[in-house]
Amino acid sequence: MTHPLPPMPRQVGAVNWVGLWTLYAREVRRFLKVHQQTVWAPVVTTLLFYAVFALALGGAVRMIGTVPYLEFLAPGLIMMAMAQNAFANTSSSVVIAKVQGNIVDILMPPMAPLELAFGFVMGGVTRGLLVGLVTGLAIWAFVPVRIAHPEFVIFHALMASMLLSLLGLVGGIWSEKFDNIAAVTNFVVTPLSFLSGTFYSVETLPPVFWWIAHFDPFFYMIDGFRYGFIGRSDGTLGIGILVMLAVNGGLWWLAWRMLKTGYKLKA
């Protein structure tokens, strides 16, 4: 009689692909399960913003240079929806896991800190891009949205979703309760979004606020994204690309360091 062989331990190579895919799939399924709240609700909110500027504030007859205001506004609103939802996905996932006490289930598997960060961040990027795509299609139903430079649209959509996903991960690790992450949203994400030229051209600002806007990394992600649609930018595109790469690189390092040291994650 032959005896069954005992179970053998799984060999993990340089990258734990199984663990990485499982974490990413968990993050995606998590927001798709409540898609009415995580996908469709942001689309409705963005369309309401668009309606207010188009109808109540006379956006239909305004011009920004040679571009109709509604065409100028659309990319900014799409980017704002992407950014806010990418941030919400990673931040809420980490904070809920910490508050409920099941963060240990994520930290116990044999996954490197960078793998954990990548799984969380790519889940947020997926949600941000999905919300941006659906929002863009919804706006396109009301106003013709043309794409002048698709490579800028794709690059800045990816970089912006990644930046906010990383910021959400860092904020979620730092936060000990929902009030803390709400403070990050209210005092960091929302002000940077609204002061970045989402609704207006920064060229119309007084000199002091013009300089403030150019120190806001959100300005460069919206400006480059908008350039991809309408072929017009308020800033220097090359500098914007470098800023996006530098900020993302810094946030990747910070997220990796926090996970590696177990900052506010391990007792």
pTM summary value:
0.91
Q: What local confidence, expressed as pLDDT, does residue 47 receive? A: 92
Query: pLDDT higher for 51 or 160?
Result: 160
Q: What local confidence, expressed as pLDDT, does residue 201 receive? A: 87
Q: How many domains does the chain have?
A: 1
Mean pLDDT value across residues 179-204: 90
How buried is residue 55: exposed, middle or buried, by Cβ count under 10 Å (0-12/13-18/19+)?
Answer: exposed
Task: Report yes or no on 149 lying in a domain.
Answer: yes
Query: pLDDT higher for 132 or 235?
Result: 132
Mean pLDDT value across residues 175-179: 92
Task: Report yes or no on 160 lying in a domain.
Answer: yes
Residue bearing tokens 């002091």? 208
Task: Report yes or no on 6 lying in a domain.
Answer: no
Q: How crowded is residue 265: how many other Cβ atoms within 10 Å of its Cβ? A: 17
- The single-letter code of the amino acid at 166 is L
64 within 8 A of 199, measured Cβ to Cβ: no
Query: pLDDT higher for 252 or 214?
Result: 252
Q: How far apart are the first and last CA of the chain?
A: 49
Residue bearing tokens 């891009």? 129
Mean pLDDT value across residues 89-99: 94
Percent of the chain past pLDDT 90, that is, above it, reads 64
- Confidence class of residue 261 from pLDDT cuts 50, 70 and 90? very high
Task: Report yes or no on 4 lying in a domain.
Answer: no
- Confidence class of residue 58 from pLDDT cuts 50, 70 and 90? low
Helix pair 17-32, 113-140: axis angle to 10 deg = 40
Task: Report yes or no on 7 lying in a domain.
Answer: no
Using the predicted structure, report yes or no on whether residue 155 has a pLDDT greater than 70. yes
Domain interval for residue 182: 30-261
Q: What is the DSSP-derived secondary structure letter of residue 198?
A: S
Q: What local confidence, expressed as pLDDT, does residue 5 receive? A: 63
Task: Report yes or no on 179 lying in a domain.
Answer: yes
Gap between the Cα atoms of 184 and 135, Å rounded: 24
Task: Report yes or no on 177 lying in a domain.
Answer: yes
Task: Report yes or no on 154 lying in a domain.
Answer: yes
pLDDT, tens digit, 9 for 90 and up, residues 98-137: 998 888 888 888 899 999 999 999 999 999 999 999 999 9
